[in-house]
Amino acid sequence: RTEFALKEIMSSGGAEDDIPQAERKTVTDFCYLLDKSKQLFNGLRDLPQYGQKQWQSYFGRTFDVYTKLWKFQQQHRQVLDNRYGLKRWQIGEIASKIGQLYYHYYLRTSETSYLNEAFSFYSAIRQRSYYSQVNKEDRPELVVKKLRYYARFIVVCLLLNKMDVVKDLVKELSDEIEDYTHRFNTEDQVEWNLVLQEVAAFIEADPVMVLNDDNTIVITSNRLSEMGAPLLEQGMIVGQLALADALIIGNCNNQVKFSELTIDMFRMLQALEREPMNLASQMNKPGMQESTEKPARRENPHKYLLYKPTFSQLYTFLAASFKELPANSVLLIYLSATGVFPSGRSDSEGPYDFGGVLTNSNRDIINGDAIHKRNQSYKEMHCLHPGDLYPFTRKPLFIIVDSSNSVAYKNFTNLFGQPLVCLLSPTAYPKALQDQSQRGSLFTLFLNNPLMAFLFVSGLSSMRRGLWEKCQEYLRKINRDIAQLLTHSRSIDQSFLQFFGDEFLRLLLTRFIFCSATMRMHKIFRETRNYPESYPQLPRDETVENPHLQKHILELASILDVRNVFLENTLDDY
């Protein structure tokens, strides 16, 4: 293929003999690198999606070839322009592939610094207008490359919370789609317009806006910062387990999504990551090389993001995570999914008798109930039952279920004596609370951004930056107090304390207790199903109904002037 291309190029550039040998070699080398890079890039699709080690050497080789290709076209641009006819969109394609490589490296490693690298390559394409000439060529497939580049760039910006850039990109993408459909009269117009609608809904999913004095929106980040998790006091006895792996599963029927991320998945993945640092500044810090000390900063836990998986996909990834889990480590399973309820009556109360959450059946179930009516004694097939997770409780397991049937997981049994905790969402929210489920679950919002969730249940939709920061500071104090309540409790199950040594899990546990305490004090959350639950159960009087914590919540409500939303003397109501 390369030889044929070369002959074409050389013959169109004048008599073959006129071309200096060195320039001929430059074009040959470029064609070889270009072919090799495409071959390796296409091979990435064939790598297994699970398992953390098999893919690394292949990725390394691909990176090496793309780095060489990128430098080569920079060094020999003049020759390639004259002899090969290198177009700017072709340079854009190479940069776009490198951006994709970094993004996929982030997905494989969960290291947020790679997102910054993807961002810098995607930004360069836009700043240098590599794709600007595409619209002049009469080739719809080239325009589609440009549109796809925009969609990928938007995903990276969303993950980096660069919302101002996202808004600019959406506007540009919208103009590009209009131009594309107008010129080529294509059939994929509906699909591209759907992409625009999805990203617009995604941007607007947050129920509360934080505003600067000039009314511009403040971009808040919900990744773990240095000050994020409450510090452990001297002498606190907690486990030394570390969160090493997480499965984030999204299977809600009608939730806002973009690419293959629902808003719940998006929020939870950020709750399991540290603030990104720039790779370059990390590497080149003066004195870094000489130091033999390891940096104190721990890596992010590795994650698998599964959008609408089938049961077999979910089980395969779960088994891979379980197999590769290091010693003294925790596996986290986050399930944001539609509830599946038992269809028949059962005399027993086993781990397959309460239903669970939906797994994908590879086809949309329009008439899902009909499938089960054949025989009432059969269990639901497209469903992850609590019993399905039993084999994996042989290692420390931390489960979060956000579903209308989360309580199915309350009937767990700890068979192997390993640390095991399930945090379970309310199964229903009060009717008076406007239905926000399309824009993400309230329970997950509490775990990701507790102050925003608190403002939402208090009926607030916007807030000044100064007040937001004051409340965040107060919330950090509440978190510190919750941490003390947990570690000083005399009757708490040891599983909670064994997970408490890990920063991410500590933050999730303290936010869970804050969420539960807030809902129990709220005037419109009056039914049991409106409250989160846990397995094992928390001692209420020492945690979610502790008077000291209730006093703090009322004080936070006073700062916001929403104290009337909460019950003053909650203890009398129980």
Give the residue from 160, 190, 207 where a domain finishes: 207
Best CA proximity match to 449, nearest among 210, 247, 167, 119: 210
157 phi and psi angles, rounded to 5 deg = -65, -40
Domain count, the chain: 2
What's the confidence (pLDDT) of residue 226? 73
- Residue 238 CB: number of other CB atoms within 10 A? 17
Instruction: Count CB-CB contacts under 10 A for residue 283.
Output: 10
Same domain, 265 and 131: no
Instruction: Give the 3-state secondary structure of residue 109.
Output: helix
Compute the average pLDDT of residues 411-428: 94
Residue with tokens 């001692």: 539
294 lies in some domain: no
- Spatial neighbors of 319 by CB under 8 A, at least 6 apart, are none
In angstroms, what CA-CA distances link 244 with 103, 318, 503, 508? 20, 13, 12, 15
Task: Kindly state whether residues 253 and 166 are assigned to the same domain.
Answer: no
pLDDT at 55: 82
What domain range is 128 assigned to?
19-207
331 belongs to a structural domain: yes
Looking at the structure, tell me whether residues 121 and 264 fall in a common domain.
no
Cis peptide before 536 (omega within 30 of 0): yes
Q: Mean of the pLDDT values across residues 314-341?
A: 95
503: how many CB neighbours lie within 10 A of its CB?
18
Residue 346 lies in a domain: no
- pLDDT tens across 135-189, in order? 888 888 899 999 999 999 999 999 999 999 999 999 999 999 998 888 887 778 8
Provide the pLDDT for residue 574: 42
When pLDDT is cut at 50, 70 and 90, the band that residue 287 belongs to is very low
Give residue 128's pLDDT: 94
Higher pLDDT, 346 or 190: 190
* Domain endpoint, select from 149, 182, 207: 207
pLDDT of residue 459: 93
- Do both 183 and 272 map to the same domain? no
When pLDDT is averaged across residues 83-98 and rounded to a whole number, the result is 92
20 pLDDT above the threshold of 70: yes
- 372: enclosing H helix or E strand: helix 368-372
Residues 122 and 26 both lie in one domain: yes
Residue 297: pLDDT band with limits 50, 70, 90? low
Q: Is 78 within a domain?
A: yes
Residues in CB range of 455: below 8 A, 6 or more apart? 207, 208, 461, 463, 560
Q: Looking at the structure, do residues 476 and 403 belong to the same domain, yes or no?
A: yes
Residue among 427, 348, 321, 342 at smallest CA distance from 385: 342
Range of lowest pLDDT (32-41, 344-353, 442-451):
344-353
Q: Which two tokens stand for residue 214?
A: 């000039």
* Residue 488 in this model has a pLDDT that exceeds 70: yes
pLDDT digits (tens, 9 = 90+) for 332-349: 999 999 999 987 666 677
Does one domain contain both 336 and 246? yes
The mean-pLDDT minimum among 220-224, 344-348, 378-382, 399-403 falls in 344-348
Does 474 lie in the same domain as 517?
Answer: yes
Single-letter amino acid, residue 196 = L
Residue 384 forms part of a structural domain: yes
Q: Which of 366, 401, 81, 450 is nearest to 251 (CA)?
A: 401
Question: 56-75 vs 21-43: helix axis angle to the nearest 10?
Answer: 150
